[in-house]
A and B are shown apart, each in its own frame.
Chain A
Amino acid sequence: MASPRRSEGISKLTGRERYVDDLAIDGCWWGMTARSPAPRGRIREIRFGKGVDWSEFVVVDHRDIPGPNEVRLIELDQPVLAADRVRHVHEAVVLVAHPSREMCRRAIREIEIVVDREPPALDFRVTPSPDQIQYADDNVLKHLRIEKGDVERALAGAAHVVEEVYETGAQEHVYLETQGMLAWEDDGVVTVSGSMQCPYYVLNALIHALGRDEKQVRVVQTPTGGGFGGKEDYPSNIALHAALLALKAKHPVKIIYDRGEDLAATTKRHPSLVRHRTGVDSEGRLVAQDIEMILDGGAYVTLSPVVLSRGIIHAAGPYACDNVRIVGRAVMTNSVPFGAFRGFGAPQSLFACERQMDRVARAASLSPAEIRRRNLIRDGQTTSTSQRIDDGTDRLAVLDAALRRSDYDAKREAHRSFNASHPYLRRGMGLASFYHGAGFTGGGEVYLASTQHVAGLPDGRVEVRSASTEIGQGTRTIFATIAASRLGLDESDIVIAEPDTSRVPNSGPTVASRTAMVVGHLLELACDDLRRTLGLPKDAPGDAVRAAIIARLASHPSEELVGKARYKAPPGIQWDEQTYKGDAYGTFAWATYVAEVEVDLRMFETRVIAFDAVQEIGKVLNETLARGQIQGGVVQAIGWALTEDFVWKDGAMANAQLTNYIIPSACDVPPIGVEFLENPYPHGAMGAKGIGELPMDGPAPAICNAVADALGVEPTTIPLTPERLMDLMTEAGVA
């Protein structure tokens, strides 16, 4: 059956979709940001040059903030605008607004922020010196620990012990629409409209720093040109900046970052260092996993504690092992803050895990496929947090499907003779088995207590009211499918409300692969509640629902007809935040990916020439959209693995241009083969599990494992650029 078409697809294909920078607002001014030139220090002076007539501008600094100078998130450490000190290069200090964008640019060039520099902490891997300490007494933003069994005893008795250290670099989201916000005040209400994933995060940030109550602020999401986590937390900052300028200018103000500013100033994926010490018995069964994960937390806490949490929970991989110790810490540095990015710590820890499994396989004289076959978790066994897995998914079938689909064995054979005879090309096959927990970690969903509404409309249609946003992943289409199917209606009978905090309830942030699975299920329950409110039985057909809505609203025209649902944890879920034991996630999606690479020894360039992604995701709600999520995620991960390299200077990105921060083009990647296995999850909408982040986890280790297969060297650091590969081969004495 063909999937329902993306509901806003034609509008996007014809360029009619209106993003924030496409809105023509009368009397709108432009806003722009002057930023710190130094990674750390005291602001001595801000000089305003003579090159522009300042009387034409509105200028905002920290003294213009009505409430606390804090961007509300997990902690309140990040100022809206730096007051007396800065903690990273590009930290926002002063804002300007003017009717002309070009004049704003000139004004920014005229502002000089003079900083008395202090010693910055720039390398998260190095213990800070006393004069670099800026957070607690060790710069550690968060410590976490998972313990199961007795690791030391098990390692002492292991047949083989393998130790290695892995590192991953930062990654920029490169959503194609840069960040942008529009703000204005009307009748005492500040409205901020723009590109974002999480309208209620922005709303709460506005309430806090503007010192207003909920009735005096409103947030509306505009069509959003990609997010990938980059529009989870950062939009709060820009929203506050635009609102402060609009309040002072008494004009609507629009801030649109150009690509250079977006690359330089917004959050990135956390760089990581992960140490593994793994013990196996003589059969290659895991007996101990001793893992340490360190994240570069950047200059402010942002979301680092929860990124670390997801990172360590995924660090031991989808394997059964009785003795596991995982310690994690996120370390403050004076780098531009790191934040949410698709996968949220799991791609980093799974890169290390899946590279390590290949090394363990070699130590135990097993093939990469066999080591995974022996250790993949079986129903009834437990994860590192002692979560018992009992979902009926056949994880070996996922592995086997990937091997079959990629023609793994035959190709490996063929590559051996190819490599022996070709003068400079080397080919290899690599695989990665992994899992990804969907929804918030641990008690997160209970804490969020998300709500979801559906409303009957006078013509019998049903409006879905949700703060869960469409950012390209297909929320609007999926929600229409879920509501239509639950109510027995057509997709054309479903209207998706604009995410406007004055109209839609807080269904939680659009993150953590939770929208289809968690919020979609709430949508089903809200539909049930609507039916109940209408006095209809559970199995009432769509025609009866439509008729009842029309009749009710005809007889009670002034009443709202709304079905509601609020999140409740599925029965039996237990999580202990203190000991990090229990059900870390309601469910996991399971996957095995296979990469085939070709390395050109003349250039040390690695190309992915074939890629297969097999995953069990509960139930596929829309084949086209689901495949698109996987293919897009895989290609984003190929970029992270091979080309997306950062040049750091003073904790900031020196290569903040798409000319030299290289994301994959159509030419750089092969077609991505996708296969879904289905095992419906009873607590997800229509049986679905989350899939948005899953495809980010597997490609980097699969690619590096393929390079190891091709060349006989062991890559431990990504991105595996030609320079890095050349060094690795020189060290190994094979180049």
Chain B
Amino acid sequence: MSKPQAEKIEIELTVNGQPVAVSVSPVERLLDTLRYTMNLTGTKEGCGEGECGACTVVLDGLPVNSCLVPTIQARGRRVETIESIDPSRLSELLDSGATQCGACTPGVVMSACWVLDHPDLCDSHSLRELMAGNLCRCTGYDGIIDGLAAALDASNQRPGAGA
């Protein structure tokens, strides 16, 4: 059978805290490696061109569109996907109606949790600006923005939350 792609390359990376080794073609997208090789299907494809944010993962601490990242660029780096998120962080988003059809939701949650982890961003940016990289066609965004605001409030009030 003719090969779909030329030379494959062996790389190692850390996904959700676990070291993994994969063999990928040079053009393979991180999104596809996660979804089809590692069966981490929580990360979604909405556009494949960096517009919608459904494929958001956190790469070495920064949110990225995994549809735009060749997997080989993740060599030796840390990737966190939606599968790493603790469901207990999501109750405000659930209550506010942040998800409807759910197709944008894993990306929305990755961005929202990143904002929750970096609350200082809110001093210089509105929540709508911080979430503008995640398109949602269902909620009209209020459910997402209200839920994130409530989650930020709650985490401020949690014991040990820094000033």
Contact = CB atoms under 8 A, between A and B. Distances in A.
B145 interface: yes
A14 interface: yes
B7 interface: no
A13 B93 contact: yes
Interface residues of A, number: 64
Nearest to B146: A671
B135 A9 contact: no
A667 B129 contact: yes
B87 A666 contact: no
B48 to A, nearest CB: 6
Given A10-B87, A175-B101, A635 B94 contact: no
Nearest to B109: A13
A52 B4 CA distance: 10
Contact of A22 (B41, B105, B132): B41
A388 interface: no
Nearest to B141: A666
Given A176-B136, A176-B137, A258-B48, A102 B145 contact: no
Secondary structure type dominating chain A contacts: loop
A12 B51 contact: no
Contact of A672 (B1, B42, B128, B140): B140
B99 A471 contact: no
Given A14-B90, A624-B97, A669 B49 contact: no
Given A102-B5, A226-B137, A666-B144, A472 B101 contact: yes
A6 B42 contact: no
B97 A628 contact: yes
Most central of A11, A12, A18, A472 by chain B CB within 10 Å: A12
Contact of B138 (A9, A52, A628): A628
Interface in A491-537: none
Interface in A635-670: 635-636, 657-659, 663, 665-667, 669
B54 A176 contact: yes
Interface in A4-30: 5-6, 8-19, 21-22, 24
Interface residues of B, number: 57
Nearest to A622: B97
A663 B141 CA distance: 12
B139 interface: yes
Nearest to B148: A666
Contacts of B145: 666, 671
B140 A631 contact: yes
Contacts of B141: 631, 635, 665-666, 669
Interface string B9-53: 000000000000000000000000001000101111111110110
B85 interface: yes
A15 B83 CA distance: 7
Contact of B49 (A10, A19, A173, A657): A657
B47 A472 contact: no
A351 interface: no
B114 to A, nearest CB: 15
B99 A9 contact: yes
Contacts of B93: 13
A552 interface: no
A176 B44 contact: yes
Interface in B89-115: 90, 93-106, 109
A103 interface: yes
B54 to A, nearest CB: 6
Contacts of B104: 176
Nearest to B5: A102
The interface centre, meaning the residue of A14, A15, A634 with most chain B CB atoms within 10 A of its CB, is: A15
A226 B85 contact: no
A484 to B, nearest CB: 19
Nearest to B136: A176
Contact of B142 (A18, A24, A258, A672): A672
A56 interface: yes
A632 B94 contact: no
Interface string B56-77: 0000000000000000000000
A223 interface: yes
B99 A12 contact: yes
Interface string A11-51: 11111111101101000000000000000000000000000
6 contacts: A15-B83, A19-B41, A102-B4, A103-B4, A472-B102, A624-B97
Given A176-B44, A666-B134, 16 more contacts: A9-B94, A10-B87, A12-B102, A13-B94, A14-B106, A24-B39, A103-B2, A175-B101, A177-B103, A226-B101, A628-B100, A628-B140, A631-B139, A658-B135, A666-B145, A672-B140
4 A-B pairs with the lowest CB-CB distances in the bound complex, closest first:
A15-B42, A472-B101, A225-B103, A12-B102
